[in-house]
Amino acid sequence: MADGGGHLHVGARDPVRDGVVHQLVRDHFAAFAEQMQEGGRSLPRYVIEEFDAFLRCGVLACGFMRARCPGCGHDRLVAFSCKHRGVCSSCGGRRMSETAARQCDRVLPAVPYRQWVLSLPWELRLPVARDPALLNAVSRVFFEEVRAWLRQAAAGTPTGARREGAAVTYVQRFGGSLNLNPHLHMLVADGVFGCRDDGSTPVFVAAAAPTRDDLRAVIARVIERLQIIERRRAHRAASESCEVNDDGMEGLRRAAGGRGAFARVDDRGARDDASEAADARALAPLRMRSHGLVAEVDGFNLHAGVCVAGDDRDALERLCRYMARPAVASGRVTRLPDGNVAYRVKSPRSAGATHRVMTPMEFMARLAALVPPPRSALVRYQGVLAPNSPWRVAVVPLPPVEERRPCVAAPVPPATPSDGVNARRPQIEATGDSDGRAPTPSSRIEWARLLWRVWGVDALKCPGCGGRMRMIAALTERAGIVRVLEHLGVSTEVPRMRRSRDGP
């Protein structure tokens, strides 16, 4: 192969970037799972699979794609990713970028948008994190009340047309300090669409900006409707003698929702605990007066001060990335000299505390509690953007030109013994343009084009001759993987969980 062992392979795990979280999971998760089982609370299967997949994500020894330049024969390996939604910040970042790009290119029409953020009171956070049905109800009520306000605020709707909103709701289960804090970020078209049943294109009518009194009125109606839902749920539970479904995660959710310990941690990892009074003040968030468009009623907090113009697609994509960001930022995790784990918080606390300080077991518990359960949608489309809306096709934008062009069949080089025993070859490859943006017939954005769009990195540009590299094989069987990696001088070790009985 033309690629030496010192080459930085695309997709391979970077020990400097996210080695701290990977090493912590490798060293402590098995002992944490055993501790849970000894206490009579086994972890759900989806949580165990999440951590197992994270340990193998981006590791070349677990399989990779092989790309080759047809001009000079230069090879490059692309490690497989786990594609999970909880622990892995790398796959979470890719999902964030892809979600934002897809929505700006194919979903969101060119109209003004406003972000509405609904935070829940403490007593409602655990039930919402536990019960997907309650989360669905909160999301639906929130959108319907915002839509009702927009219908009143928008003037000039065509006569006889139905006034319908457009929104994308992002469910975030986390806060800025690795805490369990389910809340909703809703990107709403700042107005309504006048929709007719005759098949004509809906007409957008802008609405005036809300005031704080408007936000309080929206919160009041949300609270009123949620109280009715809660009474019905309590009555149904009492009549059916239902017990709370304990999936083994309730204790972890309570621990992840707690305040925990905070401290000042410098760049060298030194922890500064000045006094007990300072620690007590560090538990409270920094009290800052908000000058934005925000209101609070009975523990419900609603913020609607961020808006984007209809012609500023770059700002819209950045806002979508913010709302779709992953729960864990691996660059904010530090291992302290005493063995504890520090997570840098988003905003300093009142006593100057900069990090949440945890034992490794508490860190595992918080990560496990933040894993979203399966079949729980984190992005929801509502109004004219809903999948079953008859007006969706009339308002969503067409895909970009490079995505509408059909794929072109490209010749694939024949297999060689070094490709591995079970090398699978792509049958069709899309040819790219000079910018590295290859057309694709599927709804998923290709990883190389996504890297170019977000970071300006052309992953398929040959570093030797500047030509276009092509994927020629996918290696998944151990014999072929070991043969290629040993030839390159790359480690063939598959990461495994360290059990408590293995010793130090």
Q: What is the 3-state secondary structure (H, E, C) of 158-179?
A: CCCCEEECEEEEEEEEECCCCC
The per-residue pLDDT for range 22-63, each reduced to its tens digit, is 999 999 999 999 999 888 888 999 999 999 999 999 899 999
Q: What is the 3-state secondary structure (H, E, C) of 389-441?
A: CCCHHHHCCCCCHHHHCCCCCCCCCCCCHHHCCCCECCCCCCCCCCCCCCCCC
Q: pLDDT class for 155, splitting at 50, 70, 90?
A: confident
Question: Residue 249 burial (CB < 10 Å; 0-12/13-18/19+)?
Answer: buried
What's residue 237's pLDDT? 74
Non-local (6+) Cβ contacts of 308 within 8 A are 112, 113, 114, 315, 316, 319
Residue 421, pLDDT > 70, answer no
Q: Which of 359, 322, 353, 324 is nearest to 177 (CA)?
A: 353
Lowest mean pLDDT among 46-55, 231-240, 395-404: 395-404
| Phi-psi region at 178: left, alpha or beta (left = phi > 0; alpha = psi -120 to 50) | left
| Alpha-carbon torsion angle 237, 238, 241, 247, nearest 10 | 40
CA 97 to chain centre: 9
What's residue 433's pLDDT? 43
Instruction: Name the more confident of 9 and 463.
Output: 463
What is the pLDDT averaged over residues 106-121? 95
Using CA atoms, how far residue 145 sits from 150, 310, 435, in Å, is 9, 23, 44
Residue 275, pLDDT > 70, answer no
What's residue 37's pLDDT? 87
Instruction: Name the more confident of 58 and 11.
Output: 58
The per-residue pLDDT for range 356-392, each reduced to its tens digit, is 999 999 999 999 999 999 888 999 999 999 999 999 9
Residue 425, pLDDT > 50, answer no
d(CA 109, CA 310): 8
What's residue 502's pLDDT? 60
From the CB of residue 54, how many other CB atoms can be counted at a distance below 10 Å?
Answer: 27
425 close to 415: Cβ distance less than 8 angstroms: yes
Residue 423, pLDDT > 70, answer no
Residue 242, pLDDT > 60, answer no
Residue 313, pLDDT > 50, answer yes
What is the pLDDT averaged over residues 439-467? 76
What is the pLDDT averaged over residues 434-463? 70
| Phi-psi region at 12: left, alpha or beta (left = phi > 0; alpha = psi -120 to 50) | beta
Residue 404, pLDDT > 50, answer no
Residue 409, pLDDT > 60, answer no
